[in-house]
């Protein structure tokens, strides 16, 4: 396959509650900076006319309408927390328009949790109403090809839970994690674009922090780093002013072209 451009669109850069947070009147939740308005965390990976979604958030419908993509070719799940899966029912319009089922990919545990959370989608009973049409593919950690681009699951620790990030070409998306195992670090060399969880400054048992992710960025020496899964402790402009120039905060709607994407 010829080299093809890969574009990443940030659909959501916020933590599980989103920012603003319901009932909060802090300076970030009331900020006029549009970059301080963060839907739940997800990216869209677009290449060769295909669109691959990583995580289907509770904001998925709003994210799809705002971004304007009208095809959805596959969904990858990092893990089963509600902020990463609860938009799954809203993929139905893509089934209608494309007249096709959509493949979904997740680890065995995450897939089981998705099947439990959306039992009506997977139980095989006749519904007489429209449900998502999905084909489940369980990941065992091996790389897999989607429409000519190789995706590699990257094991991460999210507190005690083993979850996946994903590398594709010269980019990697590592949301929710508190630790990156050594073996996984070895699979993250030579990146042009690296997304890292950076919830806030204060330590958290299941998430990385700004300082921890700055250290990770230094170890991996990715050319461009974007922090995501951000809570209302971090004002966009104020936080970026304290970061090295190659590390930025992701924001909803940000589009990034990955250099040297793939052959």
- Cα(44)–Cα(56) distance, rounded to whole angstroms? 10
In degrees rounded to 5, what are phi and psi of residue 77?
-115, 135
User: Which CB atom, from 51 or from 81, has the smaller least distance to Zn ion?
Assistant: 81
User: Which CB atom, from 83 or from 192, has the smaller least distance to Zn ion?
Assistant: 83
Task: Identify the CA nearest to 88 among candidates 109, 66, 67, 119.
Answer: 119
User: Which CB atom, from 47 or from 195, has the smaller least distance to Zn ion?
Assistant: 195
Integer angstrom CA distances of residue 218 from 72, 159, 230: 34, 22, 20
Contact call for residue 162 and Zn ion (CB under 5 A): no
User: Which CB atom, from 16 or from 63, has the smaller least distance to Zn ion?
Assistant: 16
> Please, what is the minimum distance in Å from the beta carbon of residue 263 to Zn ion?
33
Work out the angle at residue 195's Cα, subtended by the Cα atoms of residues 190 and 201, and round it to the nearest 5 degrees: 125
Task: Identify the CA nearest to 13 among candidates 41, 47, 51.
Answer: 41
* Position among 4, 7, 17, 29 found at the interface with Zn ion (CB under 5 A): 29
Contact call for residue 36 and Zn ion (CB under 5 A): no
DSSP three-state, residue 98: helix
Give first-to-last CA distance, the chain, whole Å. Answer: 6
* Number of chain residues interacting with Zn ion (CB under 5 A): 9
Contact call for residue 83 and Zn ion (CB under 5 A): yes
Mask for 165-194, x = binds Zn ion (CB under 5 A): -----------x------------------
Contact call for residue 73 and Zn ion (CB under 5 A): no
Binding part of the chain for Zn ion, among 8-16, 58-66, 113-121, 133-141 by CB under 5 A, reads 8-16
Task: Look up residue 213 and give its two tokens.
Answer: 């992710």
* Position among 1, 5, 26, 185 found at the interface with Zn ion (CB under 5 A): 26
User: What residues between 184 and 243 interact with Zn ion by CB under 5 A?
Assistant: 232
Helices marked H in the chain — which ranges? Answer: 60-67, 82-85, 92-98, 108-117, 119-122, 182-185, 210-220, 236-240
> Please, what is the minimum distance in Å from the beta carbon of residue 90 to Zn ion?
18
Binding part of the chain for Zn ion, among 13-21, 51-59, 179-187, 244-252 by CB under 5 A, reads 13-21
Neighbour tally for 220: CB within 10 Å? 18
Work out the angle at residue 227's Cα, subtended by the Cα atoms of residues 82 and 221, and round it to the nearest 5 degrees: 130
User: Which CB atom, from 73 or from 83, has the smaller least distance to Zn ion?
Assistant: 83
Q: Given the rule CB under 5 A, which residues bind Zn ion?
A: 16, 21, 24, 26, 29, 81, 83, 176, 232
């Amino acid at each position: 396959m010829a080299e093809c451009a890969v574009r990443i669109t940030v659909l959501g850069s916020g933590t599980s509650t989103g920012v603003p947070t319901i009932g909060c009147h802090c300076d970030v939740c009331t900020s006029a900076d549009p970059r301080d308005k963060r839907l739940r965390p997800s990216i869209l990976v677009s290449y060769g006319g295909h669109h691959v979604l990583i995580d289907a958030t509770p904001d998925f419908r709003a994210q799809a309408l705002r971004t304007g993509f009208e095809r959805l070719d596959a969904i990858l799940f990092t893990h089963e927390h509600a902020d990463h899966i609860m938009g799954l029912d809203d993929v139905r319009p893509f089934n209608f328009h494309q007249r096709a089922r959509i493949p979904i990919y997740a680890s065995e545990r995450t897939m089981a949790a998705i099947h439990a959370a959306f039992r009506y989608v997977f139980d095989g009973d006749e519904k007489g109403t429209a449900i998502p049409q999905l084909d489940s593919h369980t990941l065992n950690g091996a790389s897999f090809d989607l429409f000519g681009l190789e995706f590699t699951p990257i094991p991460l620790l999210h507190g005690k839970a083993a979850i996946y990030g994903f590398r594709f070409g010269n980019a990697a998306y590592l949301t929710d994690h508190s630790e990156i195992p050594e073996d996984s670090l070895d699979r993250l060399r030579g990146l042009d674009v690296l997304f890292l969880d950076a919830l806030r400054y204060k330590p958290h048992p299941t998430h990385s922090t700004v300082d921890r992710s700055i250290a990770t960025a230094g170890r991996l020496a990715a050319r461009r780093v974007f922090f995501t899964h951000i809570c209302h402790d971090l004002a966009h402009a104020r936080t970026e002013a304290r970061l090295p120039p190659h590390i930025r905060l992701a924001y909803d709607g940000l589009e990034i072209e990955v250099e040297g994407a793939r052959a």
